[in-house]
Structure 1
Amino acid sequence: MIEVINIRKSFGDKTILQDVSVNMEPGKTNLIIGASGSGKTVLMKCMVGLIEVDSGKIKYDGQDFTAMDDKEKKPIRQEIGMLFQGSALFDSMTVEQNIMFPLDMFSKEKYKVRMKRVQECLDRVNLKDANKKFPAEISGGMKKRVGIARAIVLNPKYLFVDEPNSGLDPQTSLVIDKLIKDITVEYNITTVVNTHDMNTVMESGDHIIYMHQGLKQWEGSNEDIIFADDQKLNDFIFASEFFQDIKEMRKTEMFRDKGWRTKKDGENSSRT
């Protein structure tokens, strides 16, 4: 678990995060959503240690990350995987060399063992026959999958993902969302995703944090969000008539399913 406890962050006289507290849960896709300037990107950067907080604490499995020096932070950072918005692949390296890079930096295993791990990760993200290709030779969706493979190559406990669907078509976005969710559950990773994509919110949002003007405005699951009465959240998520209609349809479906389950449970109880 990652615990964010009463953190504050300002740049000059502009306050970006105001007393934010939240727990990022293992085995779940934890989403940070909000409009531009809401503080969600700064929150993620504080969690990975790219930005130091002004006050408050960030704990990794009970260890106070904010109180550590760079040397003490290194073991935790080795357990963190990161998928950047633009994938951030090295243009001069092949796909397999990009994935090998963290292993070259941190692993003392022999080359054959490291290469086997690279291939395992390529297989896990369903990339075949791409080992020797350069980033310029593959599609945007494939670059994202290479980025995911590189992020998980060291078997991280924590995975941070920044705008995974940026620049992707809707079908490819669904593939990436499902892959991140499946890997999270399969390896029991604490995954934190910064996203604007409403499909990601509705399909993958096990745990959602909505940021508004530096505050944690709302917190819940993708089911909770359908019934949320927070006006700021609804104005952000369901701003268009299309999404308002989707919300009402989803409400109806969930009520219908709940009624069916209640009826079925009652029938089963009467039989016993």
Structure 2
Amino acid sequence: MIELINIKKGFEDREILRDVSATMESGKVNLIIGASGSGKTVMMKCMVGLMEVDSGHIAYDKKNFTEMDTHQRKELRKQIGMLFQSSALFDSMTVEQNVMFPMDMFSMGTLKEKRQRVMECLDRVNLKDAAKKLPAEISGGMKKRVGIARAIVLKPKYLFCDEPNSGLDPQTSLVIDQLIKELTHENNMTTVINTHDMNTVMESGDHIVYMYQGQKQWEGSNKDIIFSKDQQLNDFIFASEFLREAKEMRQMEIFQHKDWRDQLKK
């Protein structure tokens, strides 16, 4: 798991993160949600070391990442996979070469072993037949799946995804959501997703951290959201009349089950 303990981050006279503490749980899809400017992107960048916190610390499985030196961080990053918002594929490399790139950077295996692992990952994201194609020859959804294959090729313990559904149609977004969720549970990864996609929140949110004006406003699961009384969270998640009606329908469905009293207590 990944723990954030009282972290603060600011730029000049502007405070972005204000004393944030949260836990990203292993084997679960952990979501960071919030409006633009709420601090969620800065929070993720601090977690992977692209930014340094001003105070507090971040721990990976009880190991203090904040105090690690360059060599220690490099070793830890071998266990981290990253899916970028724009996929960030190398245009001049084939799909196979893009997925192999992390292995060339960190792995000491033979070329045959690397290719075997690459094909395993491409097969898992259903892109084995696209191995020799260039990024320009595949769709946006396929590029995201290539990005996922590259992110998992080193069998990471931690997977970070920045807006994985950005620019995708609803049907393709569902495929990406399901794929990330399956890989997380299959490999017991600690997956952290920065997202605005409400379908991702409701379908994949095993554990959710809602950021509001630089602070952790709410924390829980997608099931907890249905009964949350936090006004800022409800205004953000159920902003439209349609979504508010959908929430009421979901509440009614849950009421029909014997555990509805437990839900109300939350």
Question: What TM-score, normalized to structure 1?
Answer: 0.95
Is 1:248 aligned to residue 239 of structure 2?
A: no
Q: Matches of residues 39-78 of structure 1 in structure 2 within 5 Å?
A: 39-78=39-78
Q: Secondary structure at the match of 2:202?
A: helix
Aligned residues: 261
Is 1:144 aligned to residue 144 of structure 2?
A: yes
The letter for the 2-side match of 1:11 is: F
Aligned to 1:88: 88
Bigger Cα displacement from structure 2, 127-136 vs 33-42: 127-136
Q: Secondary structure at the match of 1:50?
A: coil
Instruction: Provide, for residues 196-227 of structure 1, a one-character-per-residue CA deviation record: whole Å limited to 9, x for no partner.
Output: 00000000000000000000000000000000
Aligned to 1:25: 25
Aligned to 2:11: 11
Larger radius of gyration: 1
Aligned to 2:129: 129
1:256: Cα distance to partner? 1.0
Q: Secondary structure at the match of 1:209?
A: strand
Aligned to 2:2: 2
Aligned to 2:204: 204
The letter for the 2-side match of 1:39 is: G
The letter for the 2-side match of 1:141 is: G
Q: Secondary structure at the match of 2:130?
A: coil
Q: Following the alignment from structure 2 to structure 1, what is the Cα–Cα distance between the partners of residues 259 and 187?
A: 34
1:257: Cα distance to partner? 2.6
Q: Which runs of no fewer than 5 residues in structure 1 stay unpaired?
A: 263-272
Aligned to 1:116: 116
Aligned to 1:103: 103
Q: Secondary structure at the match of 1:3?
A: strand
Q: Secondary structure at the match of 2:218?
A: strand
Q: Following the alignment from structure 2 to structure 1, what is the Cα–Cα distance between the partners of residues 193 and 90?
A: 22
Is the contact made by 2:119 and 2:128 (CA closer than 8 Å) also made in structure 1? no
The letter for the 1-side match of 2:236 is: F
Bigger Cα displacement from structure 2, 248-257 vs 150-159: 248-257
Q: Secondary structure at the match of 2:181?
A: helix
Q: Secondary structure at the match of 1:175?
A: helix
Q: CA RMSD, aligned part only?
A: 1.1
Q: List 4+ stretches of structure 1 deviating above 6 A.
A: none
1:141: Cα distance to partner? 0.4
Q: Following the alignment from structure 1 to structure 2, what is the Cα–Cα distance between the partners of residues 129 and 74?
A: 33
1:34: Cα distance to partner? 0.2
Instruction: Provide, for residues 214-244 of structure 1, a one-character-per-residue CA deviation record: whole Å limited to 9, x for no partner.
Output: 0000000000000000000001000100000
Q: Following the alignment from structure 1 to structure 2, what is the Cα–Cα distance between the partners of residues 52 and 9?
A: 8
1:128: Cα distance to partner? 2.9
Q: Following the alignment from structure 1 to structure 2, what is the Cα–Cα distance between the partners of residues 97 and 18?
A: 41
Q: Which runs of no fewer than 5 residues in structure 2 stay unpaired?
A: none
The letter for the 1-side match of 2:198 is: M
Q: Secondary structure at the match of 1:223?
A: helix
1:259: Cα distance to partner? 6.2
Q: Secondary structure at the match of 1:26?
A: coil
Q: Secondary structure at the match of 1:246?
A: helix
Q: Following the alignment from structure 2 to structure 1, what is the Cα–Cα distance between the partners of residues 150 and 256?
A: 43
